[in-house]
Amino acid sequence: MTVYAQPGQAESPVSFKSRYEHFIGGAWVAPVKGEYFEDVSPVNGKPFTEVARGTAEDIEAALDAAWAAAPTWNASTVTERAILLNKIADRMEENLETLAVAETWDNGKPVRECLAADIPLAIDHFRYFAGAIRAQEGRLSQLDEDTVAYHFHEPLGVVGQIIPWNFPILMGVWKLAPALAAGNCVVLKPAEQTPASILVLIELIQDLLPDGVVNVINGFGAEAGKPLAANPRIRKIAFTGETTTGRLIMQYASENIIPVTLELGGKSPNIFFDDVAAQKDDFYDKALEGFALFGLNQGEVCTCPSRALVQKGMYDEFVAAGLERVGKMVQGNPLDTATMVGAQASTDQLEKILSYLDIGKQEGAKVLTGGERLQLDGDLAEGYYVQPTIFEGTNSMRIFQEEIFGPVLSLTSFSDFDEAISIANDTLYGLGAGVWARTGNTAYRAGRAIQAGRVWVNNYHSYPAHAAFGGYKSSGIGRENHLMMLDHYQQTKNLLVSYSNSELGLF
Amino acid sequence: MPEAPKATANVVLEATAGPEDDVVRVGYTAAAVDLLRELWHRHGPLMFHQSGGCCDGSAPMCFAAGEFRTGTADVLLGTAELTDDDGAVLGPLELWISREQFKVWKHTRLTIDAVAGRGSGFSLEAPTGRRFLVRSELCAI
């Protein structure tokens, strides 16, 4: 196991600059109003760099640059786009540790996860869309002997993207890769909690990017996000975040009549049927791991399996074994590759989780483990750590209905299939779900009955490219992580052509 | 009308109940009121919409009044009369929530607090280094 040095120390694979500007038109550009904001590492609660504080003026400059690049990039061949995406992927792969440590320092997540998941998935995502765009074909329909309807894919032009803080680089790439593959220029606003790691990525790839094709403006939602989302010069807006901002972005988009894609979170049920415990074999251990995965990324995942539904026949024994498994989660220094659960991303995120631990206790949920803030020693004493927590309760409690975005599991039991589905679907959201069963018919029927865009069957928290990801109900609109996302970044041009020399005969 | 639940000790401003609600359920702490006054002076009249879901979900989002369009899909939880530190009336401060979210929140009383922190969606307080936070208590319904 390795413990990476903190950024700024000599042996660290990443060295942050003391200040970052906007990235506009292929250059680093100071903010028009000259203001910057501090970026704090959740690992130790200390500021480590400052980042340009964008305003409407900077968004306009970025849109100028993007539209200046658009005539060329929009008309680029799919081969050129695929080459760019593959080169970006290669460059990221050559700098895996740099990006992984930068991500950990900005977000607080364990470097183990960045090395094994976030960055490799981001790399693969570029390669996937490089392949997908090469393989995409337009369609044609022969309407009669001499009449043909051709359908061409065209880029939208310039698009806006607003990125969340929980997977700053991966969520950025989920949006960037399909947009670039489809031939669009992009103005991207990272989250104000995690503005720096994406800029480390941009520094690494800036020589590959044609000027103006990718522009990054940092800043706060009201100051930089709104001027982007409400701008009449974007042809589409993509957002990952929460419901109120999602609705606000739709309201802005309605003013400009542009499409939106939204990913707005969930309260994902993870259902364990009795036959899981029929044998104490590898599959049983896998299911117990699935039970414990609410701790992945400190619970800061839109698809966190934050509601465990365990069937009554095996409840006591399975929950006891699950608690033991949760007790083995290694929590601590995120830069240690042995660490599985790191720091929450911000102090206010920590406060919010603590407020939910409080309401859970008030509502009478029973704390089976955890339930408190975790205080680490030494340099990490000011970091934002929470004990993995399991509440036993009922689905009407607020801790079962709201996304806590922390390592907090709400656990309940069910009698039969119908009750499991009823509890699972009793939620405002429909992003992810898990089903664990040895019987294929049960697993299949449960998977189809759950109202969620992604149901993992006998696995969880896997995000391979080419498996569509998106929400039902209040969880959003659109499907990322799949070639169908290209549709969300493309216009359809229909050319309706007559090859006949005869008159229509109407006039 | 049921008796109003006991106010949290540190609530300094209480909202009157919304038209669809018979429970006084929204209060503001001194830290929240201070931040609201500051934002009111900078941005003019304000409103809240309580969010749900991913990342910054469950945060009360503060906007310029009217910036977020509410409709039949929303419930007005309460209106507080915000005053300045000299007692001068600034104006009414509404707090809204989506109707579907209200259904799962209605057994709780909400205290809007302000804590050190960074950002939440398009909420106006983000650049101040403080952010609004909702604290909840059970109440009779």
B55 part of contact set with chain A, CB < 8 Å: yes
Say what percent of chain A tops pLDDT 90. 99
Q: Which residue has the higher pLDDT, B56 or B104?
A: B104
Which one from A263, A300, A403, A480 is the annotated catalytic residue?
A263
Q: How many angstroms separate the CA of residue A35 from the nearest CA in chain B?
A: 11
Q: Does the distance separating the beta carbons of A405 and B55 come in below 8 Å?
A: yes
Cα–Cα distances in angstroms (integers) from residue A266 to residues A282, A456, A469, B132, in the given order: 29, 14, 12, 22
Question: Which pLDDT score is estimated for B117?
Answer: 87
Q: Does the distance separating the beta carbons of B61 and A244 come in below 8 Å?
A: yes
Among the partner residues B49, B52, B124, nearest to A428 by beta-carbon distance: B52
Instruction: Assess whether A263 carries a catalytic annotation.
Output: yes
Residue A504 has pLDDT above 80, yes or no: yes
Residues of A in contact with B108 (CB under 8 A): 359, 398
CB pairs below 8 Å between A and B: how many? 159
Q: Does the distance separating the beta carbons of B120 and A348 come in below 8 Å?
A: yes
Average pLDDT for A40-62: 97
Q: Does the distance separating the beta carbons of B137 and A241 come in below 8 Å?
A: no
Residues of B in contact with A362 (CB under 8 A): 136-138
Q: Does the distance separating the beta carbons of B100 and A221 come in below 8 Å?
A: no
Cα–Cα distances in angstroms (integers) from residue B35 to residues B43, B62, B84, B124, in the given order: 12, 11, 11, 10
Give dist(CA A372, CA A350) in Å, integer.
11
Q: Does the distance separating the beta carbons of B53 and A246 come in below 8 Å?
A: yes
Rg (CA), chain B: 14
Among the partner residues A222, A226, A264, nearest to B54 by beta-carbon distance: A264
pTM as predicted: 0.96
> Coil, helix or strand for B24?
coil
Res. A348 pLDDT band, cuts 50 70 90: confident
B104 part of contact set with chain A, CB < 8 Å: yes
Question: Which pLDDT score is estimated for A73?
Answer: 98
Among the partner residues B67, B105, B116, nearest to A347 by beta-carbon distance: B116
B51 part of contact set with chain A, CB < 8 Å: yes
Question: Which pLDDT score is estimated for B9?
Answer: 61
Q: Does the distance separating the beta carbons of B135 and A243 come in below 8 Å?
A: no
The DSSP line for B111-130 is: EEEEEE----TT-TTGGGTE
Q: Does the distance separating the beta carbons of A362 and B138 come in below 8 Å?
A: yes
Measured from the Cβ of residue A448, the count of other Cβ atoms closer than 10 Å reads 10
Tell me what the pLDDT averaged over chain A comes to.
Answer: 97
- By the 8 A CB rule, do A387 and A370 touch? yes
- Domain boundary assignment for chain A: 19-264, 269-457
Average pLDDT for A52-70: 98
Record: fold of A269-457:
Aldehyde Dehydrogenase; Chain A, domain 2 (3.40.309)
Q: How many angstroms separate the CA of residue A320 from the nearest CA in chain B?
A: 30
Average pLDDT for A81-106: 98
Task: At B71, list the tokens.
Answer: 């409709």
The DSSP line for A215-271 is: EE----IIIIIHHHHT-TT-S-EEEESBHHHHHHHHHHHHHHT--EEEE-----EEE
Question: Which pLDDT score is estimated for B141?
Answer: 59
Cα–Cα distances in angstroms (integers) from residue A479 to residues A238, A346, A465, B54, in the given order: 11, 28, 11, 16
Q: What are phi and psi of B78, to 5 degrees?
A: 180, 155
Task: Flag whether the ipTM exceeds 0.90.
Answer: yes
Residues of A in contact with B100 (CB under 8 A): 428, 474
Question: Which pLDDT score is estimated for B4?
Answer: 41
Residue B3 has pLDDT above 70, yes or no: no
B71 part of contact set with chain A, CB < 8 Å: no
Residue B2 has pLDDT above 60, yes or no: no
Residues of B in contact with A191 (CB under 8 A): 55, 119
B131 part of contact set with chain A, CB < 8 Å: yes
CATH number of B15-138: 2.60.300
Return the CATH superfamily for domain A19-264. Aldehyde Dehydrogenase; Chain A, domain 1 (3.40.605.10)
Residue of A nearest to B101 (CA): A428
Residue B128 has pLDDT above 50, yes or no: yes
Give dist(CA A238, CA A173) in Å, integer.
12
Res. B21 pLDDT band, cuts 50 70 90: confident
Give dist(CA A84, CA A74) in Å, integer.
14
- Domain boundary assignment for chain B: 15-138
Q: Does the distance separating the beta carbons of B53 and A355 come in below 8 Å?
A: no
Q: Does the distance separating the beta carbons of B136 and A191 come in below 8 Å?
A: no
At A67, which helix (H) or strand (E)?
A: helix A56-74
Residue of B nearest to A37 (CA): B127
Residues of A in contact with B69 (CB under 8 A): 251
Residue of B nearest to A344 (CA): B55
Q: Does the distance separating the beta carbons of A403 and B52 come in below 8 Å?
A: yes
Closest CA to A5 of A96, A147, A105, A113: A105
B38 part of contact set with chain A, CB < 8 Å: no
